[in-house]
Structure 1
Amino acid sequence: MHKLVKIAAIIVSVLSVVFLGLLMGSSDEPKDNSWISPLIYISYFILAACVVLVLAFVLKNLFSNTENLKRTLISIGLFLGVVLISYILADGSDVKANGEVVSGSTSKWVSAGLNVFYILALAAIGAMVWTGFNKLIKR
């Protein structure tokens, strides 16, 4: 199976390079670019196939080892907890931007997204500092 996926990836890569060359070499005339739309649909299909294959392999490997499944579910739960806390702490007031009023719900979700980013960035920085500190102590 791995060999088949590898061969398919090589074929798709070569075809992508050929189509990119054709696209870059085409003129700017609208009548000459009628073949671009089908290529876009082909790229959507290839992207969907890649996503399905990646998800299939990830789920297969995830369910084959219960310890990995447990750690993954704990990580997802912690992430959802961070999202919930961020949403609770988010400000949901109306905001005027570019002459339009942004609704409170949209403003709350944007604020929650920023809060999630800040919390996860602090956690990542803290993990790097902690790891570096532990390496210094062990030496």
Structure 2
Amino acid sequence: MKNNLSKILNIFIAVIAVIGAFLFVNIFMTDEGDTAALSGSVGSIVTFSTILLYFAVGATLLLSLFSLFTNPENLKKTLLGVAALGVVLVFAYFLADSNAVLDTQGKVLVGGEAGASSNQWVGTGIWYSVCLGLVASLFFVYDLVKGLIKS
């Protein structure tokens, strides 16, 4: 079964590579003066790449979820990690403000009025990054001290 799956995946990869190579060569065979044809050939490889990206993301998500649900111990650890990130997000949300966003002349930017929810969420993202950076730094120092003590 595993050998057959490997053969199928190799054939699938070869088909994707041939299609990609054909689309790539098609760009070079298109006349540079014909902008419509050049746009069409570039657009086709961009569309193909986008489809491959969506397929890769979808396969990754599905396989990750399948792995989580087949291993309850990992599911519990993942849910605890997501809950901890949620707590940090709530903490960061309360640290953030929704003050007006000013430009260099002191004028309020369009969409940056005081009380705008986008201001609150941008501030939340900044504080979230700072909080996670602090937590990571603490774990780094802890690991460093732990390694020095063992030596």
TM over 0.5: yes
Report the count of equivalent residues: 139
**Contact 2:26/2:41 (8 A) holds in 1:** no
Identify if the C-alpha distance between structure 1 residues 20 and 73 changes in structure 2 by more than 3 Å, giving closer, same or farther.
same
Which structure 1 residue ranges, 5 or more long, are not aligned? none
The equivalent of 1:105 in structure 2 is 117
Asked whether 1:57 is paired with 2:63, we answer yes
The equivalent of 1:124 in structure 2 is 136
The equivalent of 1:41 in structure 2 is 47
The equivalent of 1:75 in structure 2 is 81
Asked whether 1:115 is paired with 2:127, we answer yes
CA RMSD of superposed structures (Å): 2.5
2-structure distance, mates of 1:23, 1:50: 24
Question: For structure 1, which segment, 100-109 or 2-11, has the greater mean C-alpha deviation from structure 2 after superposition?
Answer: 2-11
**C-alpha deviations, 1:30-75, integer Å up to 9, x for none?**
1341222222222221111111111111111111111100000000
Q: Which has the higher strand share?
A: 1
The equivalent of 1:86 in structure 2 is 92
Question: For structure 1, which segment, 72-81 or 34-43, has the greater mean C-alpha deviation from structure 2 after superposition?
Answer: 34-43
2-structure distance, mates of 1:74, 1:10: 41
Normalised to the residue count of structure 1, the TM-score between the two structures is: 0.82
2-structure distance, mates of 1:127, 1:28: 58
Identify if the C-alpha distance between structure 1 residues 23 and 96 changes in structure 2 by more than 3 Å, giving closer, same or farther.
farther
Shift of 1:9: 3.8
Aligned partner of 2:16: which letter? V
Question: For structure 1, which segment, 106-115 or 20-29, has the greater mean C-alpha deviation from structure 2 after superposition?
Answer: 20-29
Higher Rg of the two aligned structures: 2
